[in-house]
Amino acid sequence: MTNKMKLRDENGKIYFGWYILIVSALIGTLIYNGIISTSGVFMLPVTTELGIPVGAFSFYISILSVANIITLYIISRKLNKNNIKKIMIITGTLGVLSFVGFSFSTQIWHFYALAVLQGICFGACTMTPCTILVSNWFGPKVRGKAMSFYIAGISLIGMGVINILNMIIMRSGWRGGYLFCAAGILICLPLMAKFAVWSPADKGVARMGDAEEAVEAGPVDPNAIPGYTAKEGLRKPAVWVALISCVLLVLASSSMLQHGIPTFIMAGKSPTIATFISSLISVIMIGTNLIVGWAIDKFGVRFGAVATCAFFALGTLGYAMVADMPGLMYPSIILYAFGVPAVNTVSPLIMAYICGEKEIHKFISYMNMLIAVGGIFGAAIVGTMFDVTGGYKVPWLVMAGILVIASIMRAVATSRKNKYAA
């Protein structure tokens, strides 16, 4: 396999990594988006019907994130090629049960209790295993593009899913919407059983995106893979700077996912139009993720790390001003679409840049643990500030400032001196 992206492997068969990408995108859409990205669609219908304050309802995301962190800690020590399918299928089933439970909930504590199951599913069945699989199947020469294809696939499929979900909620209520989310996870379970294959070595093929000399050398001895062990990497200040930047990023991104649609509604848009705008972001992100992936492979990880954070900060600033200046809505969502790849597209590349590949699956798990920490506080903080101030201007101004700090931290973490060198 060369360092170029090709459809087929050296045996003339379709490269199995492409199946990994497609299935990962489906899982990302139907499970990851079902749990997190669609939460804003449910917020106003649920809180209005049940009489729950926005801040109190947002808190279930915090509980979910705590369960996610605990799950990520466990799987960072246990996840391997021998059990990845079993872990994903079992925790995916818990996700189905949680959404079915949501559909029958009548009290806020029902959501809090079921959020634990959802957090377990989120940690062990979505971005962490899928990112590890994509990283394992695509080498450093093409990993930026592969990650961008993966995230762009989530945006492409998610565009349709979120609009279908909104129609279901309008016609059948939010309870029917939660059952739709449960069905989405159910569809993914057999796909996990078929396609969750740890690495190209398990299929007896060379990895796409490795240097030619590495391919010619034949199968790689796992003990000879360059990179830090988890213990070594966690002693490096750059690793912690990168991980903390993930926390700051997700304070903003988790807030956007839950409060973006309500922000547009508060700015005078109808729920249908606000949901359409949210899906439009997904359309734009198909292109922006591909551009970001290409730019990283072309100009380097540091360029992508800093630029995406800067765009994210500018987009969030626009969200703060959109109620007073409605014309900023569309420039803001474009900037947001260029910025949000900082979370799931760029973060794994930063960890590989700093730590190498020896135990990259552990560093990706740690990364997602810190991302989950941001998720604990982000949506709840914005929801609370909304309840206090009566609007979204102050919360988004605060988040824009946090993203500027994250941009500076990523510039430091990805300096040339911090790049792993064998």
Give the model confidence (pLDDT) of 235-251 as tens digits: 999 999 999 999 999 89
Neighbouring CB atoms inside 10 A of 219's CB total: 9
In this structure, which amino acid lies at residue 315? G
Per the structure block, which two tokens stand in for 128?
Answer: 């962490």
3-state class percentages of the chain: helix first, strand second, coil last, to nearest 5 = 80, 0, 20
Q: Along the 422 residues of the chain, how does pLDDT read in single tens digits?
A: 445 677 777 778 888 889 999 888 888 888 877 777 666 677 778 888 788 777 777 778 778 878 888 888 888 778 878 888 899 999 999 999 999 998 888 888 888 999 899 989 988 888 888 888 988 888 877 888 888 888 878 777 776 777 777 788 778 888 888 898 899 889 889 999 888 888 888 888 888 877 654 444 444 455 567 888 888 988 999 999 999 999 999 898 888 877 887 888 877 777 777 777 776 777 787 788 888 888 888 888 999 999 999 999 999 998 888 877 877 888 888 999 899 889 888 998 999 899 988 888 888 888 888 887 887 787 778 888 888 888 888 899 999 999 999 999 999 999 999 998 76
Fold of 16-200+226-418: Growth Hormone; Chain: A; (1.20.1250)
| Runs of H (alpha helix) within 51-104 | 54-78, 84-103
- The half-sphere exposure of 271 on its side-chain side, counting CA atoms within 13 A, is 13
Please, what is the angle between helix 54-78 and helix 39-50, to 10°? Answer: 140
DSSP state of 28: I
In this structure, which amino acid lies at residue 107? Q
Q: In angstroms, rounded to a whole number, what is the distance separating the alpha carbons of residues 182 and 382?
A: 27
Q: CB of 393 within 8 A of CB of 323? A: yes
Q: CB of 281 within 8 A of CB of 152? A: no
Determine the pLDDT at residue 217.
Answer: 43
Residues with Cβ within 8 Å of residue 193, at least 6 apart in sequence:
85, 89
Q: What's the burial of 275, exposed, middle or buried (CB within 10 Å: 0-12/13-18/19+)?
A: buried
Which long-range contacts (C-beta less than 8 Å, at least 24 apart) are formed by 415-420? 415/238, 415/302, 416/302, 418/236, 418/238, 418/353, 418/354, 419/353, 419/354, 420/226, 420/227, 420/228, 420/353, 420/354, 420/355, 420/356
Per the structure block, which two tokens stand in for 421?
Answer: 């060198």
Q: In angstroms, rounded to a whole number, what is the distance separating the alpha carbons of residues 21 and 133?
A: 9
Backbone angles phi, psi at 324, to 5 degrees: -85, -30
Per the structure block, which two tokens stand in for 335?
Answer: 């900037």
Residue with tokens 């059952």: 179
Going by C-alpha positions, the residue among 56, 37, 42 that lies closest to residue 174 is: 42
Residue with tokens 């910025």: 339
Q: In angstroms, rounded to a whole number, what is the distance separating the alpha carbons of residues 134 and 145?
A: 11
Q: In angstroms, rounded to a whole number, what is the distance separating the alpha carbons of residues 129 and 76?
A: 10
What count of residues does the chain have? 422
**Alpha carbon of 1 to those of 139, 149, 298: distances in Å?**
10, 19, 20
Domain positions in the chain are 16-200+226-418
Per the structure block, which two tokens stand in for 300?
Answer: 């380097």
Q: In angstroms, rounded to a whole number, what is the distance separating the alpha carbons of residues 173 and 176?
A: 6
Q: Collapsing DSSP states into helix, strand and coil, what is residue 202?
A: helix
Exposed e or buried b for every residue in 378-406, given b needs 16+ CB within 10 A? bbbbbbbbbeeeeebbebbebbbebbbeb
Q: In angstroms, rounded to a whole number, what is the distance separating the alpha carbons of residues 40 and 161?
A: 14
Residues with Cβ within 8 Å of residue 50, at least 6 apart in sequence:
106, 107, 108
